Amino acid sequence: MTQSNIPNFPPPTNTSDFELALRRGLGRAVLWLQSGAVTEDRELILTACRENWAFDVQTEDNRALYMADVVLATFEPEFYTRGVIESLFANRDEHSFGQMYDLVGRFAATGSAEARGALYSAFERLAPSRDYYFANVLMQVDGLDGYLYAVQNWLGKPVKEDKDRDELDPVFLLNDAEERFGAAEVDAFLMVAAQNNPAIIPYHIAVREKRAVWRARNESRPARPAPTYNELRAMLAHRQFRLPQFLAHRGLRMDDETANRLAADLLTETNPAVLVPLLALFGEYKFPLSPDRLFELAQDSNPAVASAAAFALAPVEDARVRALGLSIMSGDDAPWMGARLLVYNFQPGDCEPMLRLLERLDDPDSVHFFGYRIRDVFEQNTTPEFRPILILLYEKIMSTLGRNRAVKCLAKLGPLPEYVLHEAPYDASSSTREFVAELLSHS
């Protein structure tokens, strides 16, 4: 948990600011509680402890680190500790349970005996699943003693040789232990522990053998060959390959001969069911023939065809591409996609329509998608013009991953705003905390 020496952070402007900051995972929520700028809302904070409010639970940190700082700032951690423990044994949602278990571990690390007891009691229920994440929490709290406790609960389950991701949990946990404490110290610790439980030695022999096989398999994995014309044509008929970005990634790897053949097909194809995925193959690979056909299709009466054609025009450098992008951005149908057409066609002044679009977007998904496009345009056209956009994106985006990208882009333009430096040590993203800490260490 983080301690702050930053006073007088700008106060909230209305009563909803605190909840919005909490949902976005902004550090200002912690600073406001520390300074007394907001009245503590027990129910809201306890709900945020119990529920994982990450925008994308698949790619973002859970909020345990963040909520531990929020709870510490309330100056009544015992109340929240009890509330989270009660919910820990009643919750069945995978992502919320993981956050609460992590959070209870952080309470235990600060000396709460109640939290520590609950942590181990909950792990005993989880032991048959052999989950690396929960075992790692024990190790964070109690070091190698926590590691040993997890392993001893797993001894009755064989270390299998299959490729199931979950079967690598013992490997990943051992890797983490060796990275944190050193391989020699781990070995010495296990030799002592084996005097009381000899099964520890054959278990770790099996884990290390599995690790060796896994590493050898990864090191010997051959590079994927470029997809052939026939392979790509076959993909066009399968629904599971219809995502534009997936097809664009596949298309980016094709060789010139295949690209020319598919481009020739596109000139004469009229079936929308084939035309749409065929266009997507050129989403990242510059169309090798005249783009006139793509501009024609971008005006098609079929919205799916028109959208796919615009998607395929993104790598093309042409004033007409920029005009189309600005036109899409001024509309209401997925306007953020228009920014994609500016990546290779950006002109001074184009940040203004991008800023206007971001100002009018309210839906969190739309802001999230537009955030990706802003980053793409920025990385290809890094200019101070982007600063107002990136600051607004920092404020509006619900995704901690997206906010992290905005912070990194802002840092390329010069010093970060003071308020970002003040609240970043409490951000819900550990990556943002680390990035800003690194910046400050060199300032």
Instruction: Note the pLDDT of residue 132.
Output: 87
Give the per-residue pLDDT at 5.
46
Measured between alpha carbons, how far is residue 311 from residues 204, 295, 326, 373, 390 in Å? 51, 11, 14, 12, 24
In this structure, are 141 and 68 located in the same domain?
yes
* Three state DSSP letters for the chain: CCCCCCCCCCCCCCCCHHHHHHHHCCCHHHHHHHHCCCCCCHHHHHHHHHCCCCCCCCCCCCCHHHHHHHHHHHCCHHHHHHHHHHHHCCCCCHHHHHHHHHHHHHHHHCCCHHHHHHHHHHHHHHHHHCCHHHHHHHHHHHHHHHHHHHHHHHCCCCCCCCCCHHHHHHHHHHHHHHHHHCHHHHHHHHHHHCCCCCCHHHHHHHHHHHHHHHHHHHHHCCCCCCCCHHHHHHHCCCHHHCCHHHHHHHHHCCCHHHHHHHHHHHHHCCCHHHHHHHHHCCCCCCCCCCCHHHHHHCCCCCHHHHHHHHHHHCCCCCHHHHHHHHHHHCCCCCCCHHHHCCCCCCCCCCHHHHHHHHHHCCCHHHHHHHHHHHHHHHHHCCCHHHHHHHHHHHHHCCCHHHHHHHHHHHHCCCCCCHHHHHHHHHCCCHHHHHHHHHHHHCC
pLDDT of residue 242: 74
Q: Which domain holds residue 307?
A: 226-314
Domain termination residue (choose one: 261, 288, 314):
314
Task: Mark which of 284, 314, 344 sits at the end of a domain.
Answer: 314
Same-domain status, 306 and 321: no
Residue 2 domain-assigned (yes or no): no
On whether both 241 and 171 belong to a single domain, the answer is: no
Say if residue 370 is in the same domain as residue 438.
yes
- Residue 132 belongs to a domain: yes
Q: Let me know if residue 1 belongs to a domain.
A: no
Closest CA to 338 of 313, 305, 362: 313
Judgement on whether residues 253 and 294 belong to the same structural domain of the protein:
yes
| pLDDT tens per residue across span 153-179 | 888 766 655 555 457 889 999 999 999
Show which of 159, 194, 220 is a domain's final residue. Answer: 220
- pLDDT tens per residue, range 26-64: 999 999 999 999 999 999 999 999 999 999 998 998 999
User: Considering the domain boundaries, does residue 3 fall inside one?
Assistant: no
Q: Are residues 77 and 175 part of one domain?
A: yes
Same domain, 332 and 352: yes
In a domain, 11, yes or no: no
Q: In this predicted structure, what is the pLDDT of residue 212?
A: 94
Could you tell me if residue 195 is inside a domain?
yes
List the chain residues with pLDDT less than 50.
3-7, 165
Q: How many domains does the chain have?
A: 3
86 and 195 together in one domain: yes
Same domain, 140 and 98: yes
Residues 38 and 134 in one domain: yes
Both 46 and 154 in one domain: the answer is yes
For residue 369, being part of any structural domain is answered with yes
Are 214 and 237 found together in one domain? no
Nearby residues of 157 by Cβ (< 8 Å), 6 or more positions away: 128, 130
428 domain-assigned = yes
Residue partners of 184: CB distance under 8 A and separation at least 6: none
